[in-house]
């Protein structure tokens, strides 16, 4: 670096290796009158060199001109120079009341959309019973296999384990009072009215609800739903209604199977740990149950089934973005389905027990 006749001359390369030393030298020249910066002998400039030129321009009373730069150096300076750029405005965060208002409005819109979708699904499901041209032949059977038959194994296994656990936990207390037989009452009522429907719904929500959401979301991302509309096919009738019919048929059957296997799980503990006979166990279980208990359990299964399909369809249709968006709505649909299954179970208990 040379200072000659108010002209600051650089040579060689202005890069990240030479800039620190040049910057220290330029600080010693601060407040001196420099009219121009001569880059005639500068061969290369990188981003650090451009930042260095922008920096030293503010050291002198009058901003010096850059002269004699070759074409490549001029191009690099034009690309990396920050001179003349407008500062990015700092976006102020909204206060709490504004954020709260936005959340309420967003929630209101979601409620309106979800209820509209639920009304569409229920309407087209009812009309779809009498009109079968709107969906593929055999689609209901295919969906019944995916939702019901394929889920039977995991539901049966978990129901058996749940029956064993409930019976084992209660047996230790019942033995102290000589009330061994009442383990049949506890298992029968809890499985028929609460544990059977809710546990089955949670498994179906995690297994089939996620599948519904991801399938619809993928179809929307790949514009298959738009293609259906272009062919004058209602996506709700064509995609969702067969799933709605299938889960309506399968869920009560799955809950019935879950309940029976859970009672069998309790039987294993009753026979091996409480020294009860199978006949007395089943007689006690049948005597304690009423028609009302069975109807409540089956009604819960239907409500849970409908909620799972509606929530899966809602999140699938609101997907945004690509594969990442599909993953997000699938996760949200499972969480929301399980949440509303538990809430509806609590509401049903309050309605039918009091």
pLDDT at residue 33 is higher than 90: no
- pLDDT tens, residue by residue, 142-166: 888 988 888 999 999 999 999 999 8
In this predicted model, which residue has the larger pLDDT, 290 or 42? 290
Q: What is the pLDDT of residue 135?
A: 66
In this predicted model, which residue has the larger pLDDT, 16 or 163? 163
Supply the pTM of this predicted model: 0.71
The two tokens of residue 180 are 């061994």
pLDDT at residue 301 is higher than 70: yes
Cα distance between residue 90 and residue 94, in whole Å: 12
Could you tell me what percent of the chain has a pLDDT over 90?
23
Q: What is the mean pLDDT of residues 157-179?
A: 86
Highest mean pLDDT pick, 9-18, 48-57, 76-85, 244-253:
244-253
Q: What is the mean pLDDT of residues 100-108?
A: 86
Q: What is the pLDDT of residue 132?
A: 65
Cα distance between residue 203 and residue 280, in whole Å: 32
pLDDT at residue 293 is higher than 70: yes
Cα distance between residue 165 and residue 115, in whole Å: 39
Q: What is the pLDDT of residue 336?
A: 92
Cα distance between residue 262 and residue 105, in whole Å: 44
Q: What is the mean pLDDT of residues 45-62?
A: 75
Q: For the chain, list the domains and their CATH numbers.
A: 2-80 (3.30.750.24), 101-353 (no CATH)
**Interstrand relation of 7-14 and 2-4 (parallel, antiparallel or unpaired):** antiparallel
pLDDT at residue 18 is higher than 90: no
Confidence of residue 84 (pLDDT cuts 50, 70, 90): low
- pLDDT tens, residue by residue, 232-279: 888 888 888 889 999 999 999 999 999 999 999 999 988 888 888 889
Q: What is the pLDDT of residue 353?
A: 64
Q: What is the pLDDT of residue 50?
A: 77
Cα distance between residue 25 and residue 238, in whole Å: 75
In this predicted model, which residue has the larger pLDDT, 294 or 352? 294
Q: What is the pLDDT of residue 125?
A: 86
The residue among 328, 114, 133, 352 whose CA lies nearest residue 238 is 133
């Amino acid at each position: 670096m040379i200072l000659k006749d108010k002209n600051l001359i650089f040579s060689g390369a202005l890069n990240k290796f030479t800039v620190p030393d040049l910057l220290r030298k330029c600080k010693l020249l601060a407040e001196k009158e420099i009219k121009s910066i001569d880059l005639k002998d500068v061969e290369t400039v990188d981003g650090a060199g451009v930042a260095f030129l922008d920096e030293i321009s503010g050291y002198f009373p009058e901003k010096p001109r850059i002269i004699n730069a070759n074409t490549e150096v001029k191009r690099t300076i034009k690309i990396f120079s920050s001179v003349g750029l407008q500062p990015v405005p700092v976006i102020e965060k909204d206060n709490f009341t504004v954020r709260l208002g936005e959340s309420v409005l967003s929630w209101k819109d979601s409620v309106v959309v979800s209820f509209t979708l639920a009304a569409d699904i229920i309407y087209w499901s009812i009309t779809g019973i009498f009109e079968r041209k709107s969906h593929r032949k055999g689609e209901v059977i295919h969906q019944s296999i995916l939702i019901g038959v394929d889920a039977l194994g995991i539901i049966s296994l978990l129901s058996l384990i749940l029956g064993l656990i409930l019976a084992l936990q209660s047996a230790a207390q019942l033995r102290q009072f000589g009330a061994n037989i009442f383990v049949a009452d506890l298992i029968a009522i809890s499985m028929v009215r609460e544990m059977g429907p809710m546990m089955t719904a949670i498994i179906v929500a995690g297994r089939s609800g996620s599948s519904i959401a991801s399938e619809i979301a993928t179809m929307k991302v790949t514009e298959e739903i738009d293609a259906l509309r272009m062919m004058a096919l209602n996506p709700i009738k064509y995609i969702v209604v067969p799933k709605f019919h299938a889960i309506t048929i399968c869920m009560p059957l799955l809950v019935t199977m879950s309940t029976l296997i859970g009672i069998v799980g309790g039987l294993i503990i009753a026979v091996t740990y409480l020294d009860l006979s199978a006949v007395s166990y089943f007689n006690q279980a049948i005597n304690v149950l009423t028609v009302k208990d069975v109807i409540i359990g089956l009604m819960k299964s239907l409500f849970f089934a409908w909620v799972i399909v509606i929530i899966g369809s809602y999140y699938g249709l609101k997907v945004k973005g690509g594969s990442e968006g599909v993953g997000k709505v699938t996760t949200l649909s499972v969480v929301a389905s399980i949440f509303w299954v538990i809430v509806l179970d609590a509401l049903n208990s309050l309605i039918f027990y009091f």
